[in-house]
Each structure stands twice: as C-alpha cells, then as structure tokens.
Amino acid sequence: MIVNVDAPTKQQEILDLLAKQEKPKYTYLGKHKLMKNQLRFEVTDAEGIADVVAYTKGLIKKSPFGIALVFRVLEDGKFW
C-alpha cells in the first residue's frame, strides 16, 4: 500500500519518524510529482493493522512535533 503524507512543514521530521518504524515498514518513495508537500511512502509488513492511514496519522500525532502540526495522510489515489 502507498500512503501520502501531506505536510507543508516538518517534512524531515516525518521522514525520520517513519523511517525508524519496523512494523509496519515505511519506504520513502519521494515527493509527489504535482503536490510538492506530499511525501510518498510504501507501507509493507502491515499485517494486523486494519487501517494503515489511521495508524500513520496516530504515529505523527503522538510525536513531539505532531501536536500542533497541520497535516493529512491519504491512501495513494484518494484526495480526501
């Protein structure tokens, strides 16, 4: 599954946070071609996680910088 994290700020912090995850594993694919604020990740080893998008949002919200961060996480190909 591919998820897009749309965040105008703290992109490096989000990259670092998701890169540390082992289960599920997030592989950075680069920025979206048209939407430069979107970071694209391939998510693997997500067995047992019913909603990968909600799980990813939770990881970012629980981080020290995520409390006041405006962002959204979408499954690739969806707009809301």
pLDDT tens across 43-62, in order?
Answer: 999 999 999 999 999 999 99
Q: What is the dihedral of CA 54, 34, 77, 5, to 10 degrees?
A: -10
Determine if the pTM surpasses 0.85: yes
Confidence category of residue 35, pLDDT binned at 50, 70, 90: confident
Q: In this predicted structure, what is the pLDDT of residue 79?
A: 64
Q: Which residue has the higher pLDDT, 76 or 8?
A: 8
pLDDT tens, residue by residue, 11-34 = 999 999 999 999 999 999 999 877
